[in-house]
Amino acid sequence: MTLDIPIHLRFVHVDHGKIRSVEVIQNPAASLSHGRGPVVAKSLANMRVNTVISGEIGPGASTMLNELSITKMIVKPGQKVIDVLKEKALIS
C-alpha cells in the first residue's frame, strides 16, 4: 500500500466562525521516504496549529499529534476544505 503524500499543506485560520486567512506551504517532509508524519507534526506544533483535518493520519503522526496536544479530525478523503469547515460547524 502506498500513501499519497501531499506536496502542500493548507492552513486556514478560523476565528469566531470566520475564515481570517489561508496559507499554503510546501510539505516539509514530502521528500522523505519514511518518518514523514512526526516531522510534519513537529512542524505544525512550531507553527502553533491546534487542529489537523485530514483524510488520513498515520500511526507515527497520530502519536506525535497526541503528544503535542493537537486535535485530529479525520474526514472523507478528497473533500474540499471549505466543505469540511462548514460540515464540522467551524465556520458559519
Say if residue 48's pLDDT is above 70. Answer: yes
pLDDT tier at 4 (50, 70, 90 boundaries)?
low
Tell me: pLDDT of 63 over 90: yes
Other residues' Cβ atoms within 10 Å of the Cβ of residue 44? 21
Q: How far apart are CA 55 and CA 69, in angstroms?
A: 19
8-87 to CATH, choices 3.30.200.20, 3.40.50.1950, 3.30.420.130, 3.40.109.10? 3.30.420.130
Q: What is the mean pLDDT of the chain?
A: 90
pTM metric for this prediction: 0.82
Residue 64 cell numbers, joined: 506525535
Residues facing residue 78 across a β-bridge: none
User: Average pLDDT of 37-64?
Assistant: 93
pLDDT > 80? residue 1: no
14, 91 in Cβ contact below 8 A? Answer: yes
